[in-house]
């Protein structure tokens, strides 16, 4: 209930004295002020850079052995001083995620020993069922909003390009299999023509994708995910927004169920 | 005295405004693409160039385009074809932002480093046709992360395709710059792209991104803009 509807105000206040009602309302704390005064955290800039890079490494978005951009390039991109980048790289070296080599072909590299699957297994074991379901609810809400718009706005030739990508899904390389599925999902969502929703989807996809690799090992799970995503593509191509939303919700439910199953078997 | 103009005349005037707006960045990009191909031809054989050398060649041209005063360009650069560079397969030599910075990996996102550019319209069409192309509007999840139109031109060395030079125009900027000019025409003007998607409209009911198909606009005549694959619907 919004403050203007609260029961202690006279029912006809807005009619009787509009201005008085408005000034009374503005004096009351609104629900949204709760968000305003939430903790903004006190992580230093180096810690934020470290967290960003660590997330990319443990999530497998930066691969073992991959060369990181130079300190100066990273500093420019993140909009921080080179010393801040150096500090965060030092911390990442301390955690064993990054190694630095000297010499002509030197630089910082993702440590060969990093294993995104092991990181994902730890993350899954440490996440409660409640948090998994809530992550699913968030993911489903954003994805459903995207495919609803995509079904209304995309032209068939655009959806067919996404479909042909999905048709080339290759079971022989599981890492490639997951990254193709991620790409197809992002491309589908971009057809919503909404930049904000697409950015949010990419953030969620990057968060969930490492965990999803754990259920990809199971062939039945892979074919179920493939079939469900295909049904979303079908609905978007047909311009059927309700079917696209329903198929998306089925897909997310199946994935979260599989994660919870896996979690209860390995605990 | 106000003279009455027909919808066709208004559409033609709107088409001229839109063509002129896009002609400046398109012409600038073509000049830069030609300069770049000459410089690339003089800097070593296909497959021998390093990404670092390429960036040094591209940077001044990219910054020059981003600084264009006539149209607000968000980002510009060059995307090498597979095989041009000795050290990287998918190299983006791209500068963007209000204080242009070279675009690096986006650690928060998925798979940007592993994208096959030949799947993307702004790369594929110039590669296949050998001619410039205006792609979008589309959500550019690779570079700008915004709703974008990309102008692209192929770059060749001795008739061999070596990559695509491009620039990004954010629809947000296009709307700010074009809408006041189109609104002066007095009629309801809607700019649509080649797949029938609304780019912008003076009529607030026609939302950017919406498909024309199935709506009231679908029945109306369209007037093509010269030099850019956009069309005008005047009501």
Q: Do A198 and B109 touch (CB under 8 A)?
A: no
User: pLDDT band at A40, cuts 50/70/90?
Assistant: low
Residue carrying structure tokens 């670092």: B52
3-state secondary structure B30-42: HHHHHHHHHHHHC
- Residue of B74, B99, B111 to mutate when probing chain A, most A C-beta within 10 A: B111
Q: Which residues of A touch B (CB under 8 A)?
A: 52-53, 55-56, 61-62, 69, 73-74, 76-77, 149, 152-155, 157-158, 161, 165, 179, 182-183, 186, 190, 192-195, 198-199, 202-203, 205-206, 209
What is chain A's length? 267
Determine whether B43 is exposed, middle or buried from the number of CB atoms within 10 Å of its CB (0-12, 13-18, 19+). middle
Helix (H, G, I), strand (E, B) or coil at A252: helix
Q: Assess B116–A contact: CB distance below 8 Å, yes or no.
A: no
Report d(CA A175, CA B82) in Å as an integer.
22
Q: What angle do CA B137, B142, B148 make, to 5 degrees?
A: 20
Q: Which residues of A touch B113 (CB under 8 A)?
A: 61
Residue A110 confidence (pLDDT) above 50: yes
CB contact under 8 A, B196 and A152: no
Of B108, B115, B209, which has the smallest distance from its Cβ to A193's Cβ?
B209
Min CA distance, A125 vs chain B (Å)? 23
Determine the Cα–Cα distance for residues B205 and A98; give it in Å rounded to an integer. 52
| More confidently predicted of A267 and B63 | B63
Task: Tell me how far CA of residue A165 lies from CA of A169, A187, B135, in angstroms.
Answer: 7, 10, 20
Give residue-wise pLDDT tens across range A173-224.
888 899 889 989 999 999 999 999 999 999 999 889 999 999 999 999 999 9
pLDDT at B140: 93
Q: Rounded to 5, what percent of chain B is helix, strand, coil? A: 35, 25, 40
Name beta bridge partners: B139: B147
Reported pTM: 0.85
Could you confirm whether domain A116-266 is CATH 1.20.120.530? yes
Say whether A56 and B107 touch across the interface (CB within 8 A): yes
DSSP state of A85: H
B109 at the A interface (CB within 8 A)?
Answer: yes
Enumerate the domain spans of chain A. Answer: 31-110, 116-266
Could you tell me the maximum CA-CA distance found in chain B, to the nearest angstrom? 67
| B69 close contact with A: CB closer than 8 A | no
B residues 205-234 near A, CB within 8 Å?
A: 208-211, 213
For the ranges A26-30, A110-114, A185-189, the lowest mean pLDDT is seen at A26-30
Based on the number of CB atoms within 10 Å of its own CB, is A233 exposed (0-12), middle (13-18) or buried (19 or more)?
buried
Neighbour tally for A32: CB within 10 Å = 7
Tell me how far apart the alpha carbons of residues A163 and B55 are, in angstroms, rounded to a whole number: 35
Is the predicted pLDDT of residue A145 greater than 90, yes or no?
Answer: yes
Secondary structure (3-state) at A64: coil
Q: Which residues of chain B have pLDDT under 50?
A: 1-3, 107-110
DSSP B164-210: EEEEEEEHHHHHHHHHHHHHTT-S-EEEEETTSBEEEESSTTS-TT-
What residues form DSSP beta bridges with B223?
B232
Alpha carbons A255 and A128: distance in angstroms, whole number: 15
Number of H helices, E strands in chain B: 4, 10
Chain B contact set for A192 (CB, 8 A): 139, 209
Taking CB atoms and an 8 Å limit, are B137 and A62 in contact across chains?
no
- Partners of residue B139 in chain A, C-beta under 8 Å: 190, 192-195, 198
For B105, the closest chain A residue by CA position comes to: A69
Domain ranges of chain B: 4-18+173-234, 24-171
* B24-171: CATH number: 3.30.450.20
**CATH number of the domain located at residue range(s) A31-110 in this protein:** 1.10.10.10
Query: Is B197 close to A153, i.e. CB distance below 8 A?
Result: yes
Which single residue is written with the structure tokens 């799947």?
Answer: B119
Q: What is residue B1's predicted lDDT score, i.e. its pLDDT?
A: 41
In Å, how far are A61, A90, A194, A238 from B108, measured between CA atoms? Answer: 8, 21, 18, 32
Q: Taking CB atoms and an 8 Å limit, are A74 and B197 in contact across chains?
A: no
| Residues A60-69 pLDDT 10s | 888 888 888 8
pLDDT for B115 equals 67
Instruction: Please give the pLDDT value at position A213.
Output: 92
Q: Mind telling me how many Å the CA of B108 is from chain A's nearest CA?
A: 6
B139 and A69 in contact by Cβ < 8 A? Answer: no
Three-state SS annotation for A153-187: HCCHHHHHHHHHHHHCCCCCCHHHHHHHHHHHHHH
């Amino acid at each position: 209930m919004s403050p203007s509807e609260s029961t202690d105000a006279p029912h006809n206040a807005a009619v009787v004295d509009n201005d008085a009602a408005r000034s009374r309302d503005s004096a009351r704390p609104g629900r949204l002020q709760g968000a305003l005064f939430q903790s903004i955290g006190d992580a230093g800039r180096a810690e934020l850079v470290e967290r960003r890079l660590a997330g990319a490494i443990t999530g497998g978005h930066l691969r073992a052995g991959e060369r990181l951009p130079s300190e100066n390039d990273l500093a420019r991109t993140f909009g921080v001083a080179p010393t801040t980048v150096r500090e965060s790289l030092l911390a990442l070296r301390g955690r064993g995620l990054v190694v630095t080599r000297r010499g002509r072909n030197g630089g910082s590299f993702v440590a060969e020993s990093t294993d995104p699957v092991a990181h994902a297994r730890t993350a899954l074991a440490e996440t409660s069922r409640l948090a998994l379901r809530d992550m699913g609810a968030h993911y489903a809400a954003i994805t459903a909003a995207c495919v609803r718009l995509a079904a209304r706005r995309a032209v068939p030739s655009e959806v067919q390009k996404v479909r042909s990508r999905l048709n080339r899904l290759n079971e022989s390389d599981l890492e490639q299999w997951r990254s193709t599925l991620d790409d197809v999902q992002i491309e589908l969502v971009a057809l919503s023509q909404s930049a904000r929703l697409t950015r949010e989807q990419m953030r969620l996809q990057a968060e969930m994708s490492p965990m999803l690799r754990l259920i990809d090992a199971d062939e039945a799970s892979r074919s179920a995910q493939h079939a469900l995503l295909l049904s979303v593509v079908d609905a978007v191509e047909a311009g059927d927004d309700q079917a696209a939303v329903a198929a998306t919700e089925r897909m997310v439910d199946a994935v979260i169920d599989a994660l919870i199953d896996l979690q209860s078997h390995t605990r | 005295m106000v003279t009455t103009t027909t919808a066709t005349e208004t559409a033609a005037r709107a088409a001229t405004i839109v063509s002129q707006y896009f002609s400046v960045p398109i012409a600038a990009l073509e000049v830069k693409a030609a300069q770049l191909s000459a410089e690339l031809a003089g800097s070593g054989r296909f497959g021998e160039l390093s990404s670092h050398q390429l960036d040094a060649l591209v940077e001044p041209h990219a910054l020059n385009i981003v600084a264009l005063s006539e149209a607000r360009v968000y980002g510009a650069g060059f995307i090498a074809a597979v095989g041009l560079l000795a050290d990287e397969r998918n190299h983006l030599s791209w500068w963007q932002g209000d204080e242009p910075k070279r675009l690096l990996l986006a650690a928060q996102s998925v798979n940007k480093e592993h994208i096959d550019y030949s799947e993307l319209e702004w790369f594929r069409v110039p590669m296949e046709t050998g001619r410039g192309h205006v792609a979008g509007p589309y959500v550019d999840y690779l570079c700008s992360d915004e709703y974008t139109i990309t102008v692209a031109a192929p770059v060749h060395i001795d008739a061999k395709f070596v990559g695509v030079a491009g620039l990004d125009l954010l629809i947000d900027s296009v709307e700010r710059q074009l809408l006041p000019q189109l609104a002066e025409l007095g009629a309801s003007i809607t700019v649509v792209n080649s797949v029938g998607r609304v780019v912008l409209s003076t009529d607030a009911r026609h939302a950017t991104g919406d498909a024309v198909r199935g709506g009231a606009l679908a029945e109306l005549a369209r007037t093509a803009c010269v030099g850019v694959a956009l069309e005008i619907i005047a009501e």
